[in-house]
Amino acid sequence: MARYKQGDNRKQQLLFPPSLDEYVSEDNVVRIIDEYVEILNIAELELDKNLKNSLDGQKAYNPKLFLKIYIYGYMNRIRSSRRLESEIKRNIEMMWLCENLTPTYKTISNFRKDNAQALKKVFKEFSLMLKNIELITGDVVAVDGAFLRANASKNQLMSKKTLQKDIKEIDEKIDNYLTQLDSSDNEDIGENLFVKESKYLTNLKEKKEQLDKNLARLEEMEVNQHNTTDPDAKAMVKPDHNLMAYNSQITVDSKYKFIVATDVSSEGNDKQQLHHMAQETKAITQNDKGIFLADGGYYSANEIRKVLQEGIILYLPTPKHNDPQSKKGLYTKDKFEYDKNNDCYICPNNQQLQKKSFTQKRKDRVDFLYRGTSAMCKSCPLRDKCLPPKTATKSIYRWEHQELLDTHHKNMQSHKAKELIKQRGSIVEHPFGTIKRNLGWEHYLVRGKEKVSGENALIMFTYNFKRLLNLIGIALFRELIRAIKDNNLEQIREKIALYIACFYFVWLYYFKMTKIYELRVENDRF
């Protein structure tokens, strides 16, 4: 008698083999992925835009198949097209999802590469669906950016600053070598040494010629840096190192931490992203009374002006800058009070700085000049605290939209504004933490800003998809899919709200009871 359980004979022929469907349980996530993708309209999403299907050749794969593959792969930290191809051939869940179809890695990769716009539409449609079932409200939305590594090496980076430095160093080496050569006695230099020295000089000149070409290329392109592997990727600075990256932008709704809008930028800072992300968010939420939160990294007077003029309620703190005047021990601009009625500035000595006809124009910014008279500043008892010795009069530039900015600064001093800014980090940094650490999405696999924006949308869509599954469960998600298919969201909206309310009630009850039990145990010790 055998001591252990015996398995089936691998060579035994089965009369009634189990179907593939029997290997996948009813509550398996792949069934939800399959059901959701099947209700999508591929024509509206333009998922079939790049489909190449010849009538006299082999039939093309359904684009929905690749979307299913990628959603499953990204949810399970499998992003490489080669690994996805391998999983399709050995993973029972993937076999079921693909119905035993086995596309090659190249075909899988091409779908992600060629359908950037379609993937962005898939993300947007899911966000709109979340808004329609009131899981996204837009009452409070926070924006943030994070550097995700590009598929490019720093070794392929050409930087104008570095090139100029290297050219200068080579010029110095060449000059030093020629100086030494002139001062040396050629008769004392052996033939082999002379040949070696000549090769050294030739190598330096060849290297300088290549650096000059690279510098000329940058100047022709009118850029400060260029990566030959991915021209759109840029070297971005982090506290501990530099990396070739893209700046991923997201806005997150405060209610359940769903991502509302997303985009990617090639800029290493967030200063020009505020208005664009606020617009994208408002287009989804349609909430005119929604509050938009951002940190000091987004501070740009023009961007703030654009957002406020569209009626968006913005809370963005003013970063602290070291004013050069303050370092010199002189009065800073805030010591001069603006008189709106007389359109002038009042200095600390209660004198007026009148508006002049001169205007300073820089890009899309116009500043008006306000200046005191020479006689007024010369006899002023506070001159030493106001002006450097060689400056005759005090001048102040005022932005044409400064009143709008001053109102914003005043609003940021309120208790409500300070409390909201404290909440910003807990709202928007949670998704990035999950994306980078738990899900392992710290870098992009495609190259070029357009393709990267598509993969970025796929990443953020998968985050929202996974979060919704965790929030409402598979059974309710399946009911939601049926409601979307029937175009009847009102009933399921109420059911989801009731389910979440009950869940939180049970969770709070369990939390309180656990705390009470811990206190009792603690009291029993003493």
Express each pLDDT in 304-337 by its tens digit.
999 999 999 999 998 877 677 777 888 888 889 9
**Residue 253: Cβ within 10 Å count:** 28
Query: Binning pLDDT at 50, 70 and 90, where does residue 134 land?
Result: very high
Instruction: Let me know the angle formed at the C-alpha of 256 by 444 and 262, rounded to the nearest 5 degrees.
Output: 30
What's residue 312's pLDDT?
Answer: 93
Specify burial of residue 252 (Cβ count, 10 A radius: 0-12, 13-18, 19+): buried
Residues 501-523, mean pLDDT to the nearest whole number: 64
Q: Which helix (H) or strand (E) holds 226?
A: strand 225-227
CA distance 490 to 134: 10
Express each pLDDT in 186-199 by its tens digit.
545 555 545 555 67
Top pLDDT among 398 and 5 is at 398
Percent of the chain past pLDDT 70, that is, above it, reads 90
Query: Binning pLDDT at 50, 70 and 90, where does residue 476 land?
Result: very high
Q: How far is CA 84 from CA 3, 94, 110, 445, 452, in A?
A: 40, 9, 13, 13, 19
Question: In angstroms, how far is the first alpha carbon of the chain from the final one?
Answer: 59
Top pLDDT among 94 and 178 is at 94
What's residue 253's pLDDT?
Answer: 95
Residues 489-511, mean pLDDT to the nearest whole number: 80
The one-letter code for the residue type at 168 is K
DSSP symbols for 142-200: EEEEEEEE-SS-GGGEEEHHHHHHHHHHHHHHHHHHHHHHHHS-GGGS-HHHHHHHHHH
Mean per-residue pLDDT over the chain, rounded: 86
Q: Which helix (H) or strand (E) holds 281?
A: helix 274-285
What is the 8-class DSSP label of residue 230? -
**Residue 424: Cβ within 10 Å count:** 22
Q: Which helix (H) or strand (E) holds 37?
A: helix 29-38
CA distance 125 to 263: 15
CA distance 136 to 130: 6
CB–CB of 459/436 below 8 Å?
Answer: no
What's residue 6's pLDDT?
Answer: 77
CA distance 201 to 186: 16
pTM here is 0.85
Top pLDDT among 510 and 213 is at 213
What's residue 320's pLDDT?
Answer: 78
